Amino acid sequence: MTACFDLHCHSLASDGTLSPTDLVARAADYGVTHLALTDHDTLRGLEEAHQAAQARGLTLINGIELSVRHDNREFHILGLWVDVASAALQARVSAQNEARINRAREIGRRLDKAAGLANSYERACELASSDAPGRPWFAKLLEQTGRVRNHRHAFNRFLKQGQSAFVATPWCTLEEGIDAIHAAGGTAVLAHPHAYNMTRKRLRHFLGQFKAGGGDGLEVAMPGLTPHQQALLDECWQHFDLKVSAGSDFHSPEQRWLALGRLPPVPAGATPVWEGRY
């Protein structure tokens, strides 16, 4: 069987809609042989995912997607092949979770006022089965209460940057995030570099800092990239001598424009992050 890698996806442990078990089953059904579960700032889903992967004959890679703050912007760094027992990584996850809880409480407080709701935080926690619900769960609450038409409307009206219920989070620094991943024996990869809407100059400037901070790789094999975006990423991994990664960033079957494992090939001449590991 030809190996099929998907090194970026999410479960109910963060903001995905499938349980780790169902996510692994779906990945196996789509032909994925090596899957990294990379939930946002948590390792909670990995134990269940490993049990499901063993049952389906799929290689499950310990992963996480750490939120970091750099130059007053939020970036996401994937940690792949991390040791979940690492004290440094566990401490970082604990701190990130506390920041998420504080953010969620403040989002709830603002929605109570802006959307005329009551107990928004507690209700989002119930929906998410978590004390640190992310914005998608508040969007779902807004939909259920009839305050918005749909998920997109919830973000545009209340939850995205510049709106009444948007709350910036004091994440760790870029260097702290990379250091925690490395302390756990992992590989640090910049997730979805096209999603930050940076100019070529700004992206190259950031990647220079990412590389200087110990960054290892760049996610370049993703669904939906334009030829211009792909050309820019190819320029960047070569210029900064970064390894390359492939990931769908799958959250839900409702994302009909993407599927687990249905990714373009990594660029010719690039070194995949998994080279030498299997």
Q: What's the confidence (pLDDT) of residue 261?
A: 96
Beta strands in the chain (DSSP E): 5-6, 34-37, 59-70, 73-80, 172-173, 187-190, 217-221, 243-246
84 DSSP assignment: T
Pairing, β 73-80 against β 59-70: antiparallel
Single-letter amino acid code for the residue at 219 = E
CB 175 within 8 A of CB 209: no
CA distance 31 to 11: 18
Looking at the domain assignment, is residue 62 inside a domain?
no
CB 253 within 8 A of CB 11: no
Q: How many domains does the chain have?
A: 1
Looking at the domain assignment, is residue 258 inside a domain?
no
State the residue range of the domain holding 141.
101-159
Looking at the domain assignment, is residue 144 inside a domain?
yes
Looking at the domain assignment, is residue 177 inside a domain?
no
Ranges of residues in the chain whose predicted pLDDT is under 50 = none
Looking at the domain assignment, is residue 132 inside a domain?
yes
Looking at the domain assignment, is residue 196 inside a domain?
no
Give me the DSSP letters along 31-53. T-SEEEE--BT--TTHHHHHHHH
* Nearest CA among 111, 125, 118 for reference residue 167: 111
Q: What's the confidence (pLDDT) of residue 129?
A: 86
Per-residue CA distances from 31 to 16, 52, 94, 178, 263 (Å): 20, 15, 34, 31, 12
Q: For residue range 28-80, list pLDDT tens digits in order.
A: 999 999 999 999 999 999 999 999 999 999 999 999 999 999 999 999 999 99
Chain centroid offset of residue 185 CA: 19
Looking at the domain assignment, is residue 131 inside a domain?
yes
CA distance 270 to 278: 17
Looking at the domain assignment, is residue 4 inside a domain?
no
Residue 46, token pair as written in the block? 């990995």
Q: Calculate Rg over the CA atoms of the chain.
A: 18
Q: For residue range 195-218, list pLDDT tens digits in order.
A: 999 999 999 999 999 999 999 999
Q: What's the confidence (pLDDT) of residue 128?
A: 87
Q: What's the confidence (pLDDT) of residue 152?
A: 94
Residue labelled with tokens 């640190």: 132
Q: What's the confidence (pLDDT) of residue 15?
A: 86
